[in-house]
Amino acid sequence: MLNKASLDLIKRWEGCKLKAYKCSAGVWTVGYGLTTSAGFIEVGPDTKITQAEADWYLEKTIEKFLAEITPAITAPINENELGAFTSLAYNIGPTAFRKSSALRHFNAGNKDRVPTSIRMWRKAGGKVVKGLINRREAEVDLFLTPVVAEKPATARTSPVQSKTLQASVVQGASAVGGAVAAFQALDGTAQIIAMTGCILITLLAMFIMKERLKAWASGWR
């Protein structure tokens, strides 16, 4: 199936009408540019379809056209180039596409000549149509757009592996050990005061650890 940019291009330029109309070439059309020649339904003046049917016919028509044009593409092709070619074939028909100079230049390795060949398909009923000129430019733009590979997600350390959190644990343990040693050397009253201090230190340590965990969850190391 096509990528989103390619599918959006076809949808935008075909438009979607649920009641049949005559296109600029005088052919009865419905949905996303669906005509009788697509081989799914007979499209006439009384043809009406639902949005769900329009989406289904679009998907199946694209699958059909891809099956017809991809065997003719013999050079390596990226998904944006394939999308541009599919949009062109969707508009002019797969047979015309297979015979086009755009495909011939592409297969010969002359990609720089493809945009000019795409732009040649700007007539309907023997007349130049502004809408077709604009569509061809959109297809050329897509054809020339590099495909950017998605960067793999960076593996995150677990809380146990986090050096920052490890340091916090060590610091907390050291503080507790020192407090215990000091506590044992004190008399009764001093021990009560020290116990209160230890509780406060423990609560502070827990708060710090909580904040560190929240920071780790946000991606901080």
Q: Between these two residues, 42 and 171, which has the higher pLDDT value?
A: 42
147 backbone φψ class: left, alpha, beta (φ>0; ψ -120 to 50): beta
Amino acid 151: pLDDT: 61
Task: List, in order, residues 6 or more apart from 78 with CB less than 8 Å away.
Answer: 146, 147
Distance CA 219, CA 5 (A): 31
User: Residue 128 has which token pair?
Assistant: 């130049």
Q: Active site residue: 16, 23, 63, 198, which one?
A: 23
pLDDT in tens, 129-155: 999 999 999 999 999 999 987 665 555
Please count the helices (runs of H) and the strands (runs of E) in the chain. 9, 4
Percentage with pLDDT > 90 across the chain = 62
According to the per-residue pLDDT averaged within each range, which of 18-32, 96-110, 147-161 is highest? Answer: 96-110
Alpha-carbon distances, residue 71 vs 15, 61, 103, 107 (angstroms) = 28, 16, 12, 11
Amino acid 131: pLDDT: 95
Predicted confidence band at 112 (pLDDT cuts at 50, 70, 90)?
A: very high
Strand partners, 58: none
pLDDT in tens, 198-212: 677 777 767 776 776
Chain center to CA of 62? 19
What's the mean pLDDT in 146-166?
60
> Is the Cα dihedral 45, 47, 51, 55 positive or negative?
negative
pLDDT in tens, 40-77: 999 999 999 999 999 999 999 999 999 999 999 999 99
Strand partners, 28: 22
Q: What amino acid occupies position 114?
A: V
Average pLDDT, the chain: 84
14 tagged catalytic: yes
> Is the pLDDT at 159 greater than 80, yes or no?
no
What's the mean pLDDT in 22-48?
93
pLDDT in tens, 79-105: 999 999 999 999 999 999 999 999 999
Q: What amino acid occupies position 87?
A: S
Least confident of 7-11, 42-46, 216-220: 216-220
pTM over 0.75: no
